[in-house]
Amino acid sequence: MTTPTPVEILDLSSIFPNFVTKDNRPGYSGWILDKKYLLEFATKLRDEYGYDLLTSVTGVDYYPDDRMEVVYHAFKTIGGPVVNFKVQLPRQDPIEVPSLVSIYPGVELQEREIWDLFGIVFTGHPDLRRILMWEGFSGHPLRKDWKEAYFEEESKPFKSRWPEGKLIHAEDNNKFSDNISYPKEFDPEKWVPEGEAALYGALAKYEHTSSDGIKSDNIVINLGPQHPSTHGVFRVTVVLDGESIVNLKPVMGYLHRNHEKIGERNTFLQNMPYTDRLDYLSSLSNNFGYALAVEKLMNIAVPERAEYIRVIMAELTRISNHCMALGALFNDLGTFFTPLIYLLEERELILDIFEAVTGSRMMCNYFRFGGVARDLPEGTYEKIKGLVFERLPRKIDEIDRFMSDNEIIRSRAVGQGILTAEDAIRYSATGPLLRASGVPYDIRKADPYGIYDRFDFDIAVRQNGDIYDRYLVRLEELRQSVRIIQQAIKGLPGGEIQTGKTQYQVRVPAGESYGRVESPKGELGFYVISTGKPSPWRYHVRAPSFINLTPYGYMCKGQKIADIVAILGSIDIVLGEVDR
Amino acid sequence: MYGKGILKGLGVTIKRYIDTYVDDIRWMGKRYYKSEGIAHRSSKDARGIFTVQYPEEKLPVPEEFRFIPFLVYDVGENGEQTLRCTSCGICSKVCPPQCIWITRTTNPATGRPIPDPAEFYIDSDICMNCGLCAEYCPFDAIKMDHDYELASYGRNILNKQKLAKSASYYESIRPFNSAKENQARSAKIAARASAGEKTE
Amino acid sequence: MDVKSINTPGYDIPDDLENQVAITTLDKIYNWGRSASVWPLMFALACCGIEYICAQASRFDLSRFGMEVTRPSPRQSDLMLVSGTVTKKMMPTIVRLYNQMPEPKYVIAMGACASGGGPFKEGYNVVSGIDRYIPVDVYIPGCPPTPQALLNGLIKLQEKISKQSLKTVRWYQKGEDQASIPVPILGPDLIDPRKITLIKNNQA
């Protein structure tokens, strides 16, 4: 068991006395900057102080105060706590902030999202277009004064359900009997659709002359949103020169389910079932992240037995997710369904355990603030023991024998889609994508949460950063997860499973918190701001699949079109998380 | 030799193929359509054919399984059915997508509320099967059902009549939980009775 | 499906020919061929799509029903299994795919989100159920429905198909093509071309 390298906590207001002040609001932490010095500050933070991984950028609207904020979280790849800095802006259009894309290229997609949902303009961004909604949509939805078409009340529970609950559907209250509202100036007969002009305009900047000096045209092809791969509704627009890729732009937002806006209307407990549906293949780690973020605000401890059960469930989720991810990757590499079916057998046995303990195969809704919801029923302990000690090690070796030496897989995966270590850190990649490129950054070791510091396990790292290495990293993580569960289940103590009484009205004191876990896809973070009311003021999800897509275009330049599907499979995305 | 990796992989596939016959012969006749055969196919020793042939063989559902909720009624001596629900409204307050509509009855003479719901609607096309309503009901009146065969040709809004199912049905699907709750309720009644005797 | 179940009652068949001869109607043979080999469109939108993939895997085998051939192209498929939340950004694509499917075609709304908007109904990017735009044959509730519930829904679809008759079926009627639906347009909000007059009246 290694302890993480101790990292000293910087006092930034003494290092930069002119433009950095400490954030002294009750319950808040971090530093407030003046936006004119943002670029200088960020360059110094990265080069002199070593904070090279900027994981999260998000916006907050403080209506009716005349203020909007952009909040940044930065980490060091050798481990340690966060540096959290904010820029405050007056709330009058146009709201402008300098873009950090030249220093940390990983913020590119996140800044586009803040423009889309809040209307904050990032000057210097190479391609500032809407990302989750379509071009031409009216308004910026996450602003506090923008109401959706089915708006009833600011926060739940709604008065129309009890005690006089007349069954009136939301459609009946809307004049179009659907979830639609148009701005006042809209005239359907005079309006002209602008279509995809912005997207194709952004792609058209790349001219290409072939090597013998003949100028040739490039083709633009759309792959998706409906396509035979199992990754979901995801669209990729590629510019091709023959079969090689010149440029590639992902288009997302086809599954944007307004998780953050609904999260602001829900109470804290009501948000827990919604977090299941973010990364729907590994719902228990989403629950874990959200429970950590709110427990930090509430400042409550979790009993021992609940901590052990949490670790067992989180690692079982990791195994079940990697089974699906490896199966989908082999599907993309051309083995039509056979390894996927073999791996889904193991996943089905794990889902049986989830169904017996939590009640549902996929949407588990099992964690509560201060523990877990139910205790393990009869027979589950023996089932988990049997799986982990006898069946899973044998099956992981079988998959290794089945696929690792296969000549076709090796020729398609070795040396393709390379991402070097420096590029991976600059593009804010986390999870198996980062570890396959040679950076041993795992939050369970770098910044341990729960009781992970008591278990003995290794970090899976490979050096080359190609598709084959990402497969090997996930296979190794399967073995390490089995090792952790073996230790946890041997040491499972008795006792209670939740501190305090179960109650549905949770009192969360005011403040902000950023809770993060090592989900199977990368770093999953929840940024929650509470004002003491039953519902959160701002609720943001730092989604690993979304941010791991930032280097996708960069990894695919020069590859053939058959490879981009394999590279997408090795990044391992889930659309519920990408679009939220 | 080039191609050794592919042959190793094919060896795995052939072993699994032979396993399907070996397992069938070892369990001759008892493997399909019997509950012990289904249990063997869902255990850690499962080899061979993994399929559970719905609709002839149904995989048994564990006790904690949650699908659409239902209201519990107790059957009295003369066969009358009384719903346990008192229309306190906690389930509709705690429901995340707000899919429960309750109308509380009022006594027409005094204008005070009576603990009995006049109407109770659940829209099963919004319900997300989270189970929070069943978890926080203080009267054990609404519980999660196990019946998942609910496909239909039209949309589904469940009213009070369609939602009501008897307490004996509840005990048959959740024996462990209902025994614990009955014990807790009888202990509370005994404690209140002994407290009442002490004051007299 | 064995020979006895497609036999029309009332006709005597000698015992030695019992398993080789059936006297039946054209409707029954037509429906038997169609219901035993429905080809779904590969269309997993969200979480319900994962349960659909699990239903195709080895534990709850879909090929026992003849449905394992999932075609990525709508021109070659019979059934559109809408599994997952339908968003406004995706709606023009779904309607275009539905129009490209050749008759006879069926639609199953799997899960709460496709039936009626589901838990995300109040969002600004979510359509309250796919039946606002395309006609649905079977609704399967649940979030997500377990693979056994999905198989139950598919059996209900097979029963619906076996009740149809060649005389009354939609695609052999004379007249205009009733199945094609105008594609919605993405404007300041989703615009349904069938409701243009309603929008004009409300905006005026």
Per residue in A303-320, pLDDT tens? 999 999 999 999 999 999
Higher model confidence: residue A185 or residue A539? Answer: A539
DSSP state of A160: T
In 3D, which of A163, A181, A162, A185 has the Cα closest to residue A173? A181
Nearest to C121 among A170, A187, A228 (CB): A170
The minimum CA-CA distance between A351 and chain C, rounded to whole Å, is 11
Specify the pTM. Answer: 0.92
B5/A410 touch (CB, cutoff 8 Å), yes or no: yes
Please give the mean pLDDT across all residues of chain A.
Answer: 86
Greater confidence, C7 or C27?
C27
Nearest CA-CA partner of C51 in C140, C145, C141: C145
Chain B residues touching residue A264 (CB < 8 angstroms): none
User: CA-CA distance, A178 to C133, in Å (whole number)?
Assistant: 11
Measured between CA atoms, the residue of chain B closest to residue C150 is: B151
In whole angstroms, give the CA distance from residue B174 to residue B187. 20
Q: Say if B102 is an interface residue toward chain C (CB within 8 Å).
A: no
Stretch A44-73: mean pLDDT: 87
What are the angstrom distances between the C-alpha of A404 and each of A398, A412, A455, B53?
Answer: 10, 12, 28, 33
Question: Does residue B55 sit in the same domain as residue B73?
Answer: no
**Sign of the torsion angle spanned by Cα atoms A195, A199, A200, A202:** positive
Which of A133, A152, A178 shows the shortest C-beta gap to C125? A133
Do B52 and B123 fall into the same domain? no
Q: How far apart are the first and last CA of chain A?
A: 36
Q: Write out chain B residues lying below 8 Å of A363, CB-based.
A: 128-130
Whether B143 and B163 map to the same domain: the answer is yes
- Could you give the ipTM of this predicted complex? 0.90
Q: Is residue A3 predicted with pLDDT exceeding 50?
A: no
Q: Which fold has domain C36-171+178-203?
A: Rossmann fold (3.40.50)
Q: What is the CATH number of the domain that holds B113?
A: 3.30.70.3270
pLDDT at A222 over 70: yes
Q: A135 pLDDT band (50/70/90 cuts)?
A: confident
pLDDT at residue number A208:
58
Q: Do A352 and B50 touch (CB under 8 A)?
A: no
Q: Residue A300 and residue A294: Cα distance in Å, rounded?
A: 9
Tell whether the model's pLDDT for residue C10 goes beyond 60. Answer: yes
Of C142, C164, C118, C35, the closest CA to residue B151 belongs to C142
Same domain for B164 and B73: yes
Select from B38, B60, B82 the last residue of a domain: B60
Based on the fold, state whether residues B32 and B101 are members of the same structural domain.
no
Interface contact C139-B151, CB threshold 8 A: yes
Residues of A in contact with C85 (CB under 8 A): 255, 257
Residue A544's nearest CA partner among A311, A291, A279, A326 is: A279
Lowest-confidence range among A255-269, B107-121, B135-149, C101-115?
B107-121
Comparing CA positions, the residue from A449, A495, A572 lying closest to residue A4 is A449
Q: Is the pLDDT of residue A479 over 60?
A: yes
Amino acid at residue number A10:
L
B74 plus B119 within the same structural domain: yes
Residues B93 and B127 both lie in one domain: yes
Asked if residue B167 lies in contact with residue B74, where contact means CB atoms within 8 angstroms, the answer is yes
* B44-97 per-position pLDDT tens digit: 888 888 888 888 888 888 888 999 899 998 888 887 888 888 888 888 889 998
The answer for residues whose C-beta is within 8 angstroms of residue A500's C-beta and 6 or more apart is A300, A370
Mean pLDDT of the region A469-496? 91
Does residue A547 have a pLDDT over 60?
A: yes
> C92-123 burial, b for 16+ CB within 10 Å, e for fewer?
bbbbebbbebeebbbbbbbbbbbbbbbbbbbb
pLDDT of residue A181 exceeding 50, the answer is yes
Q: Which residues of C touch A191 (CB under 8 A)?
A: 187
Same domain, B53 and B90: no
**Tokens for C156?**
């209900």
Whether C7 shows a pLDDT value over 60: the answer reads yes
Closest Cβ–Cβ partner in A148, A254, A345 for C87 = A254
Residue A1 pLDDT class (50, 70, 90 cuts): very low
| Poorest-pLDDT segment among A46-50, A216-220, A406-410, C36-40 | A216-220
**Same structural domain, B21 and B87:** no
Residue A6 confidence (pLDDT) above 70: no
Q: In sequence order, which ranges of B27-116 are alpha helices (DSSP H)? A: 35-41, 90-94
For residue A323, what pLDDT is reported?
Answer: 92
Chains that touch A (3 or more CB pairs under 8 A): B, C
Mutate which: C60, C64, C126, vs B, most B CBs within 10 A = C60
At A494, list the tokens: 């008795």
Does B143 share its domain with B178?
A: yes
* Residues of chain A contacting B123 with CB distance shorter than 8 Å: 169
The domain boundary, picked from B60, B91, B108, lies at B60
Structural domain boundaries enclosing B30: 1-60
C-beta of residue A526 within 8 angstroms of C-beta of residue A293: yes
Closest chain A residue to C131, measured at CA: A178
pLDDT tens-digit map of A96-116: 899 999 998 889 999 999 999
Residue A469 is predicted with a pLDDT of: 92
Domains and CATH numbers, chain A: 12-123 (3.30.460.80), 259-579 (1.10.645.10)
Residues B170 and B129 grouped into a single domain: yes
- The pLDDT of residue A4 is above 50: no
Question: What is the pLDDT at residue A540?
Answer: 93
Nearest to C139 among B127, B129, B156 (CB): B156
Taking only the tens place, the pLDDT of each residue in A327-353 is: 999 988 888 888 999 999 999 999 999
pLDDT per residue as tens digits for the range C38-60: 999 878 888 888 999 899 888 88
Amino acid at site A13: S
Taking CB atoms and an 8 Å cut-off, how many pairs form between chains B and C?
A: 96
At which of B15, B40, B60 does a domain end?
B60
State the pLDDT at residue A2: 44
Nearest-by-Cβ selection for C93 from A141, A193, A225:
A225
Stretch among A15-29, A426-440, B67-81, C118-132 having the lowest mean pLDDT: A15-29
- What token pair was written down for C147? 């693979």
User: Which residues in chain B have their CB less than 8 angstroms from residue A377's CB?
Assistant: 62-64, 176
Q: What is the mean pLDDT of residues A396-417?
A: 89
Report whether pLDDT(C139) > 90. yes
CA separation for the pair A469, A437 (Å, rounded): 8
Q: Can you give the pLDDT at residue A313? A: 93
User: Looking at the 3D structure of chain B, how many domains does it have?
Assistant: 2
* Averaged pLDDT for residues A289-308: 91
